[in-house]
C-alpha cells in the first residue's frame, strides 16, 4: 500500500470519525430533549397530584365524619316540631277550657322540656369536630403501609435496573432505554406516594440523573473506538497475510535467480569432473603423458568453478537469511500489534457501565429512604 493510499485512508477514517461524533452529539441532544420533556411532564403531573391532595385535605378538615353528620341533623330536627305543635295547640286549649287541670299543667311541661335539647345539641356541635383523632391515626397508619409497599416496590425496581446486564456490544444501544426505565421508576414513586416530594429529594434526584447521563455519554464516546479498533485489527491481519505472501514470493524469486546463476556452473563442474575421471582412468601411459597438462588445467578449472559456486551459494544464503530476518521482524511487530488490538477490543467489548449504573440505582434508593425519613407523616 502506497503512502498516498494510506493518507487517503487516514482521511477517510477521520471523516468517518467526525461523522460518528456528529451523530453521537445529535443522539445525545435528542435524548436530552426527550428527558427534559419527560421531566416537565413529570413535574406537571406532580403539581396536579399535589393540588388534588391539597383539595382532599381541605375537604377532610372542613367536613366532619359521616356518622357525626348523620346524628346532628337527627337530634336537631326532632325537637323542633314539638314546639311548633305546642304553639298551635295553645290557642285551641284556650278556646276550650273543658279539659281537666292536670292536662293543662302537662302541656307547658312539654313545651319547656324540648327546648333544652336544642341548647345541648348546639353546645355539642363544636365538640364533635374536636374528635378527629381516631380517623387521623387510621389515615396515618394507612399511609405508612402504602409508603412501605411503594418504597419496597421502588427499591426493588431500582435494584433490578442497577444489576441489569446488557446482551452484547455495542452496549451504548441500551443506555437510552435504561435511563427511560429509571426515570419511570422515579415518576411512579412520586405520582403514587402519599408523601410530598421535598426540595432536597428533587435536588438529589436531579444530581443522580445528571451524573449517570454524563458517565453514559462518555461511555458512548469510548465505544466508538470499537469500530476503529475492529477495522485496525482487520487491517493488521491483512498485513500479516500480505507479509507471508510477500516473503514467499521473494523467496521463490530468489531461489529462481540462484538456480539461474548456479545451473551453468553445476553443468560445467559435472563436465570437468567427467573429463578428469576419464583422463585418470585411462591405462595408456602415452596418452596420460600427452594429457597431463590438460588434466591439471581441468582440475584447476574444476576448483575455480566449485569456488565460484560456493561463493554464489554463500551470497544467496546471506540474502535469504536477511530476507527471512526482515520477514520475521515484520511479522513479530504485526503479531504484537494484533495481540494488543485483541486485548483492547476485549476490554471495549466489556460493559464497563455497570458500576456507574449500580451506583446511580443505589444513590436513588438512598434518596427515597431519606425522603421517607424526613417526612413527619411517616417518621
The pLDDT tens digits for 2-46 are 676 766 777 788 788 888 888 888 888 888 888 888 888 888 888
The confidence score (pLDDT) of residue 83 equals: 44
Residue 143 binned pLDDT confidence (cut-offs 50, 70, 90): low
More confident call, 217 vs 229 = 217
Domains identified in the chain, total number: 3
Residue 325 binned pLDDT confidence (cut-offs 50, 70, 90): very high
Mark whether 50 and 91 lie in a shared domain. Answer: no
CB 365 within 8 A of CB 257: no
The candidate with the shortest Cα–Cα distance to 305, out of 335, 272, 353, is 272
Mark whether 16 and 145 lie in a shared domain. Answer: yes
311's grid cell: 561463493
Mark whether 358 and 343 lie in a shared domain. Answer: no
**Residue 161 located in a structural domain:** yes
pTM of the model: 0.40
Mark whether 143 and 212 lie in a shared domain. Answer: yes
| 263 prior amide bond cis, ω within 30 | no
**Residue 258 located in a structural domain:** yes
Q: What is the mean pLDDT of residues 347-367?
A: 85
Mark whether 110 and 254 lie in a shared domain. Answer: no
What residues contact residue 247 under an 8 Å CB cut-off, 6+ apart?
Answer: 323, 324, 327
Mark whether 154 and 280 lie in a shared domain. Answer: no
Mark whether 295 and 355 lie in a shared domain. Answer: no
**Residue 326 located in a structural domain:** yes
More confident call, 111 vs 259 = 259
**Residue 136 located in a structural domain:** yes
Mark whether 193 and 322 lie in a shared domain. Answer: no
The candidate with the shortest Cα–Cα distance to 327, out of 257, 239, 235, is 239
| 91 prior amide bond cis, ω within 30 | no
**Residue 198 located in a structural domain:** yes
Looking at 108, 124, 140, which one is the last position of a domain? Answer: 124
The confidence score (pLDDT) of residue 207 equals: 93
**DSSP state letter for 64:** P
**Residue 379 located in a structural domain:** no
Please determine, for residue 1, whether its predicted confidence score (pLDDT) is greater than 80: no
Mark whether 59 and 89 lie in a shared domain. Answer: no
The confidence score (pLDDT) of residue 214 equals: 92
More confident call, 317 vs 134 = 317
**Residue 10 located in a structural domain:** yes
pLDDT > 90: what percent of the chain?
11
The candidate with the shortest Cα–Cα distance to 353, out of 155, 159, 170, is 170
Mark whether 99 and 153 lie in a shared domain. Answer: no
Mark whether 15 and 144 lie in a shared domain. Answer: yes
**Residue 170 located in a structural domain:** yes
Mark whether 49 and 193 lie in a shared domain. Answer: yes
Range of the domain at 314: 227-348
Please determine, for residue 142, whether its predicted confidence score (pLDDT) is greater than 80: no
The confidence score (pLDDT) of residue 206 equals: 92
Amino acid at each position: 500500500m502506497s503512502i498516498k493510499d494510506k493518507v487517503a485512508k487516514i482521511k477517510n477514517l477521520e471523516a468517518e470519525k467526525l461523522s460518528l461524533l456528529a451523530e453521537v452529539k445529535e443522539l445525545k441532544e435528542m435524548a436530552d430533549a426527550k428527558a427534559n420533556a419527560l421531566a416537565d411532564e413529570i413535574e406537571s403531573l406532580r403539581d396536579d397530584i399535589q393540588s388534588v391532595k391539597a383539595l382532599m385535605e381541605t375537604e377532610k378538615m372542613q367536613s366532619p365524619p359521616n356518622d357525626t353528620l348523620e346524628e346532628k341533623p337527627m337530634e336537631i330536627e326532632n325537637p323542633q316540631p314539638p314546639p311548633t305543635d305546642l304553639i298551635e295547640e295553645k290557642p285551641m286549649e284556650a278556646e276550650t277550657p273543658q279539659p281537666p287541670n292536670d292536662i293543662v299543667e302537662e302541656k307547658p311541661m312539654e313545651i319547656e322540656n324540648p327546648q333544652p335539647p336544642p341548647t345541648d345539641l348546639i353546645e355539642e356541635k363544636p365538640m364533635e369536630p374536636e374528635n378527629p383523632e381516631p380517623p387521623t391515626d387510621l389515615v396515618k397508619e394507612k399511609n405508612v403501609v402504602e409508603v412501605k409497599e411503594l418504597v419496597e416496590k421502588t427499591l426493588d425496581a431500582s435494584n433490578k435496573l442497577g444489576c441489569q446486564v446488557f446482551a452484547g456490544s455495542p452496549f451504548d444501544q441500551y443506555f437510552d432505554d435504561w435511563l427511560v426505565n429509571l426515570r419511570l421508576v422515579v415518576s411512579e414513586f412520586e405520582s403514587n406516594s402519599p408523601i410530598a416530594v421535598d426540595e432536597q429529594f428533587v435536588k438529589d434526584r436531579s444530581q443522580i440523573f445528571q451524573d449517570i447521563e454524563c458517565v453514559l455519554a462518555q461511555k458512548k464516546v469510548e465505544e466508538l473506538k470499537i469500530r476503529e479498533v475492529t477495522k485496525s485489527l482487520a487491517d493488521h491481519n491483512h498485513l500479516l497475510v500480505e507479509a507471508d505472501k510477500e516473503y514467499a514470493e521473494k523467496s521463490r524469486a530468489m531461489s529462481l535467480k540462484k538456480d539461474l546463476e548456479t545451473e551453468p556452473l553445476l553443468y560445467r563442474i559435472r563436465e570437468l569432473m567427467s573429463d578428469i575421471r576419464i583422463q585418470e582412468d585411462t591405462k595408456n601411459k602415452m596418452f596420460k603423458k600427452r594429457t597431463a597438462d590438460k588434466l591439471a588445467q581441468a582440475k584447476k578449472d574444476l576448483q575455480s568453478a566449485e569456488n565460484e559456486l560456493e561463493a554464489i551459494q554463500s551470497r544467496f544464503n546471506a540474502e535469504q537469511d536477511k530476507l527471512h530476518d526482515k520477514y520475521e521482524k515484520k511479522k513479530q511487530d504485526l503479531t504484537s500489534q494484533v495481540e494488543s488490538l485483541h486485548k483492547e477490543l476485549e476490554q471495549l467489548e466489556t460493559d464497563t457501565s455497570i458500576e456507574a449504573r449500580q451506583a446511580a440505582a443505589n444513590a436513588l434508593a438512598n434518596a427515597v429512604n431519606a425522603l421517607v425519613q424526613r417526612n413527619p407523616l411517616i417518621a
